[in-house]
Amino acid sequence: MAGRGSSRGPLVLVCALLLAGPGCRRDGRSAHADGGQEDGRAAGQDAGAEEGADAADEAEVRAGCGSEGLRFEDLAWVPVDARLVTLVELEGGLAEGGALDRALARLAELADDDAAALPVLASMDYANLELQLGAMATTLAVLGHSPAQLVEIQGPSGAPIWAWPSDCAIDRLAARLLSRWQLSLRLDLEHPGVRVGAGDPAGFPFDVIAIGERRVLLVGLGQGDAVVRWLDRAEGDPDAAPGATLLELEHAPIRSLLQGEWLLAGAAPASTSMGEGAAHHVRTIRIASEGVEIDGAPWPRFAPTSEGGTPRSP
């Protein structure tokens, strides 16, 4: 199984986000390129104008957009057929040695533990979650958003979706997307209050979905409309909604839920009890300062010491 940050699948997301960051524009030039003008004076004027525009953009970003530290009111909007849902607490950020940093390290080790019997693609996602969060932090900074939570969702196809709570005014969000990446939000006439922005391979290679002034979603290029339909029409048992199950877990830096047929590829570990979830092919993972829990039971590799100290890892 892949170690921390070693698998390649999620790196596509990471690289694309970094390329779409503050130093890159849709036309592929760096923020301070002179455009290759043969006339040196004209090139200098162009560069000066660009730097002035960049300074204005940076000042706007520093002003922020919407409230800081927002949390999801609920996760009832997550479709019941999502196969992976991971809720990340951003308080304290990714600072080395912080609660989230330690949780990410444990999650990556869990992904590398064959005894956990995780689906291969879930292990790859967990192993690279730190890199994905770093790339997402760059995008959030450009947009001027500072949420307290992020959630990653994978639908039946396995394509990742990132979402965060936001009360940023739609016109300001639209202006920032247009200014930075020339990405325009358009109304979805079939879904009132929803706006979708189509990305571009040469600029921002993701679609953006704004749901009212409540949530913003980042999805794969060209998948915006399909994701909106999935969010609206997904079928399943409302009583088995993954978002509700996830929020029932005790607060922790990382809480995750896996469900569906892909869990049948590996047997449930004998050292844990899957309880009633086994019949529905559901597993929960909670990564906290006191250790790792799978399906509500401590995972032996990260069990607290007998003195009640920090979790041990061989």
More confident of the two residues 193 and 14: 193
DSSP3 helix / strand / coil % (the chain, rounded to 5): 35, 20, 45
Tell me which residue of 33, 55, 106 sits closest to 292, measured CA to CA: 106
pLDDT one-digit tens code per residue, 121-160 = 999 999 999 999 999 999 999 999 999 999 999 988 888 9
Number of H helices, E strands in the chain: 8, 11
Average pLDDT, stretch 4-14? 47
Average pLDDT, stretch 107-133? 93
More confident of the two residues 110 and 300: 110
pLDDT one-digit tens code per residue, 236-279 = 566 668 999 999 999 999 999 999 877 765 444 433 333 343 33
- Asked whether the CA dihedral 94, 98, 100, 104 is positive or negative, the reply is positive
**Res. 57 pLDDT band, cuts 50 70 90:** low
Judge contact between 197 and 208, C-beta under 8 A: yes
CA distance 238 to 231: 13
